Every structure is written in C-alpha cells, then in structure tokens.
Amino acid sequence: MILELREKGLLAKEAAYHLGLADTTLKDKALIKMADDLEARCGEILVANALDMQAAKEKDFSKAFLDRLLLTENRVKDMSEGLRAITKLSDPVGEVESMWTTTHGLQIGKMRVPLGVIGIIYEARPNVTVDAAGLCLKSGNAVILRGSSDAINSNIKITEIISKSVETAGLPKGSIQLIEDTSREVANQMLKLNEYLDVLIPRGGAGLIKTVVENATVPVIETGVGNCHVYVECDADLDMAEKIIINAKTHRPGVCNAAETLLVHKDIAEKFLPIVGEKLRALGVEMRCCSVAQQLIPGSQGACEEDFAEEFLDLILAVKIVEDINEALVHIRKYGTKHSEAIVTNDYKKARLFQRAVDAAAVYVNASTRFTDGFQFGYGAEIGISTQKLHARGPMGLKELTSYKYVIFGDGQIRA
C-alpha cells in the first residue's frame, strides 16, 4: 500500500475514535475556528488558487470548468459562512431515536453514532473541500479528501488551514486530511482501502461516479446523477404543468435535480406542447423531440435514443409524447436514475399510482423536481444526493453521515 494512504488511514482511524466522543460545543468551536482562519488567510488561498487557474487555462478547459475552479474573496467568505451555518444544525450524534424495554426487562436504545472515517473523491471544486470537511466534522467523522489534480494547490492550502484550526480547537490532527498524491494509482488504492475507510462518497460527474462504483470495495454512496422527468397527465392543470416544467428545466439547468425530459400524455400534446414549447424556446431551451412532438414545436429537433438517457445539465430538454401513464412509468424505469421524478395531474388514482410505482429518491405530485435539496427539505447543508437505496436516499445531511448502535441496560440478565 502507498505510504501516504497507510499513514493517513491510521491517523484518520485514531482521530475518528476521539471525534466520535467529542461533544457538540467542541465541534462547533472547531467549525467557527475553521471559518475564521479561512477568512484570515484568504490571501494565501487565492495565491494557491491562482496557480491552479493558470495551469487550467493552459490546458484549455471550458469556461464552466474554470468557473468552478475559481476562488475569490467572496467565495472564500461563502465557504466560511457555510461552516458557520453547520454549527446551527443539530448534532445527530448521541440521539436515541427509540428506546424500549424487552420482556426480560432489558432496556434497549437505538443511538446515533458517527460512521467513522469517510472518504470523499471529487472533482476540481475547491469549495467541496470545505463543505465536506465541515459536515463530516460536525457528524463526528474523520474525513480523507481526494480532490482533482487540477485543484491540488487550492486543496493543499485549504486543508492545511482548516486541519490546523481543528487541532487548535482541541480536536485530533487526523480529523481532516487530504491525499496530496493525485496519481491514478493512489486513487485506485483508495477505492479498496477497506481497512481504514468506512464509506466512500464520490462527488462529481457521471464518469467519476461510475468509476468509483465499479471499482470500489469500500462501501460507496452513489450520488448525484439525475436524469429527472416531468410527466404531464391528460387531466393536468396546464398552467401548473407549464410553470413546473419551466422551473424544473430552466431555474438552474446545471444541477442534478433539474428536469431533463418532458413526457406528455397524447391527449393534451396538441394543446400543451406548442404553447410550452414556445415559452421554453424563448428561455433559450433547445428541445429534442419524438417525431410527433417535433411537429408540434416549431424549431425543435428530433431526438435520438441517447437523448432520453442523457443528463444534459444544460438548457436542453428531451420531449416525448406517451400513450398513457403506463408508458410514462415504463419510460422512467428505463431511463431514470432514481433521483427525482414528477407527475402533474389532478387524478387521484394516477397520482397514487405514480408515487407508488416510481422508484426514485423523491417522487413529486404537482411540484418541481428542483425541491430535492437538503435546505428545501429542511435538513440544512447536504453532502450530496444519494441515488442508491442502501443506507441513505435523497439529500444526505448530517444524520445520513451517521450509523447507530444499540445501547442496552441490564440488571444481570442472561439468556434462558
């Protein structure tokens, strides 16, 4: 095993033990110190980030890529504010969700405990370094971060600052660590670091997530890829349907809870599509349509099979006319990524059928898919949106970064 992984793994495991026992006041103190230190040493961060930006520009990365990589004084302030906001969230560790007494008089409680050591693998977004570290710390977990080589200077500087803050506040040295060797070999070994990691959370695009899921032996929580649908039933309030699809598609097209496909019942397609198509077009949305829909929306293009499978993350929308709700359900089963799905309908039975039959983290009736978000759900900041079914589903906040243990109080009970 590569030395850096072994050393940091050992340190993280030791840190996790003490972090798991740390009280909320101490953890919050560390979060505030992290926030203050990031602001105080903002200049150093911007210098490190400038190196990454310079290298990225030379590599001819896209504008969107450069924008995600860029740090400014305001963005550093936002990261700090994010940490301060985490101190306002309630600490799940130690919470006993239920407690009961068995027939033998044993009192059994189910108590929340941290997961242990969390590995985060992510792309060139230095803000993830801070967000993830803050959420892991508050939930009592040690974190091992592995960011992109394109953000390595920013990440090293940020981690240097916040891991120092945590130590100063009185928490263990190994609470927050960054893998500095960004080689593929190290990444591959990290995927199999079962000895030290309790869970791995990849944050990034579909390619990164696929690589992690297919190669990791450490338990993974799959996040983020959202090929979300809005299905408009024949009895839908068409004004409502129009507002919902426009919001779901255009409010923030680059995020995972944005809609990528509009499914429309055949009976209302002729009435609905020309109007909504015109409005979407005016908002800059490119539409890729099945043949009938294409005829109903002037200026739209034809869709190929792949268009229905793709998470565009852009002002592009696939459009398809379906026979009925059953065809819509089959389509969603085939192309959906179990993220967020919505139906617009006024039919009680169809609403119920859609909610039962669709297998996704969030299933909406008459609302925009854009609400699948930790803050909107009332959970606060999230580490990602899980699209798998094991452990946690949907927005993952502090509670989803914990496990539980049974604490059992007896008076000498033995089993008969």
Max Cα separation, the chain? 79
Torsion, Cα 13 18 24 26, to 10 degrees, reads -110
348 forms part of the interface with a second copy (CB under 8 A):
no
Residue selected from 115, 209, 228, 296 as contacting a second copy according to rule CB under 8 A: 115
| Closer CB to a second copy, 62 or 98, in the complex | 98
What is the per-residue DSSP string for 93-111?
TT-EEEEEE-TTS-EEEEE
Shortest gap between Cβ of 152 and a second copy (angstroms)? Answer: 28
> Cα–chain-centroid distance for residue 347?
32
**Strand, coil or helix: 316:** strand
**Strand, coil or helix: 141:** coil
Provide the mask over 314-333, with x wherever binding to a second copy is found by CB under 8 A and - wherever it is not.
-------------------x
Residue selected from 66, 156, 213, 275 as contacting a second copy according to rule CB under 8 A: 213
Using the contact rule CB under 8 A, the part of the chain among 269-277, 282-290, 314-322, 353-361 near a second copy is 353-361
Residue 197: what residue type? L
CB 145 within 8 A of CB 178: yes
φ, ψ of residue 154 in degrees (nearest 5):
-60, -45
| Closer CB to a second copy, 28 or 198, in the complex | 198
Residue selected from 394, 396, 397, 398 as contacting a second copy according to rule CB under 8 A: 394
Q: Cα(363)–Cα(198) distance, rounded to whole angstroms?
A: 30
Q: Cα(157)–Cα(161) distance, rounded to whole angstroms?
A: 6
Shortest gap between Cβ of 361 and a second copy (angstroms)? Answer: 6
- Of residues 115, 129, 114, the one with CA closest to residue 177: 129
Shortest gap between Cβ of 141 and a second copy (angstroms)? Answer: 10
164 forms part of the interface with a second copy (CB under 8 A):
no
- Of the chain, the end-to-end C-alpha distance in Å amounts to 48
φ, ψ of residue 193 in degrees (nearest 5):
-85, 50
349 forms part of the interface with a second copy (CB under 8 A):
no
Query: Count of CB atoms within 10 A of residue 270's CB?
Result: 13
**Strand, coil or helix: 230:** strand
Shortest gap between Cβ of 2 and a second copy (angstroms)? Answer: 18
Shortest gap between Cβ of 213 and a second copy (angstroms)? Answer: 7
| Closer CB to a second copy, 54 or 217, in the complex | 217
Residues 2-41 contacting a second copy, CB under 8 A: 17, 20-21
The residue ranges of DSSP E strands in 190-307, in sequence order, are 199-203, 228-232, 259-265, 286-289, 301-302
- Of residues 111, 171, 175, 177, the one with CA closest to residue 147: 177
165 forms part of the interface with a second copy (CB under 8 A):
no
368 forms part of the interface with a second copy (CB under 8 A):
yes
405 forms part of the interface with a second copy (CB under 8 A):
yes
Interior angle at CA 97, CA 92 and CA 101, nearest 5 = 145
Shortest gap between Cβ of 44 and a second copy (angstroms)? Answer: 36
Residue selected from 100, 306, 348, 349 as contacting a second copy according to rule CB under 8 A: 100
116 forms part of the interface with a second copy (CB under 8 A):
yes
Residue selected from 79, 361, 383, 398 as contacting a second copy according to rule CB under 8 A: 361
Q: Cα(16)–Cα(171) distance, rounded to whole angstroms?
A: 10
| Closer CB to a second copy, 187 or 221, in the complex | 221
300 forms part of the interface with a second copy (CB under 8 A):
no
199 forms part of the interface with a second copy (CB under 8 A):
yes
Residue selected from 113, 124, 228, 280 as contacting a second copy according to rule CB under 8 A: 113
The residues of the shown chain that bind a second copy, judged by CB under 8 A, are 17, 20-21, 100, 102, 104, 106, 108, 113, 115-116, 192, 194, 198-199, 213-217, 219-221, 237, 240, 243-244, 246-248, 251, 333, 355-357, 359-368, 370-372, 376-378, 388-391, 393-394, 403-415
